[in-house]
């Protein structure tokens, strides 16, 4: 996949927050669109959607990816961030990655974790604003 195809795949991905005690239904975030999170998280100021799966967009085994995500979850919990399980999936449903929706994390801190876990990009948003795809230096 060339870089333009990779970028388009990221833009077309469905970034879904898994149903839990706070999110009563699955909620899918889309790049360049506003998602109303106020009902579920009235105190939310900013957020990121990130994974540790498939560093540099190179597939690893499910076991390796789950271990990487466990390390990411330990990192974000140790900093006191609240998070929710998520899943990034392709439009056709042939590909998906377990992910995390992280509450009130700055763009800079999310970039730190994206770089640490060798991610090409992550999704970032602020309350009542469009979400954006933030590219790291790993793949572009």
pLDDT in tens, 121-138: 999 999 989 999 999 987
pTM, two decimal places: 0.95
pLDDT in tens, 45-94: 999 999 999 999 999 999 999 999 999 999 999 999 999 999 999 988 89
User: Average pLDDT of 93-122?
Assistant: 97
Q: Are 114 and 121 in contact (CB under 8 A)?
A: yes
Which positions ≥6 away from 35 have C-beta within 8 Å? Answer: 27, 29, 125, 131
What's residue 70's pLDDT?
Answer: 98
User: Average pLDDT of 12-38?
Assistant: 95
């Amino acid at each position: 996949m060339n870089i333009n195809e990779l970028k388009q795949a990221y833009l077309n991905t469905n970034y879904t927050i898994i149903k839990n005690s706070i999110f009563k239904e699955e909620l899918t975030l889309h790049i360049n669109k506003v998602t109303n999170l106020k009902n579920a998280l009235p105190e939310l100021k900013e957020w990121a959607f990130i994974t540790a799966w498939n560093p540099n967009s190179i597939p690893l085994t499910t076991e390796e990816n789950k271990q990487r995500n466990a390390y990411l979850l330990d990192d974000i919990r140790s900093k006191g961030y609240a998070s929710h399980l998520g899943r990034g999936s392709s439009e056709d449903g042939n590909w998906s990655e377990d992910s995390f929706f992280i509450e009130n994390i700055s763009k800079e801190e999310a970039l730190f974790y994206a770089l640490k876990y060798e991610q090409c990009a992550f999704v970032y948003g602020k309350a009542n604003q469009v979400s954006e795809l933030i590219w790291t230096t790993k793949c572009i």
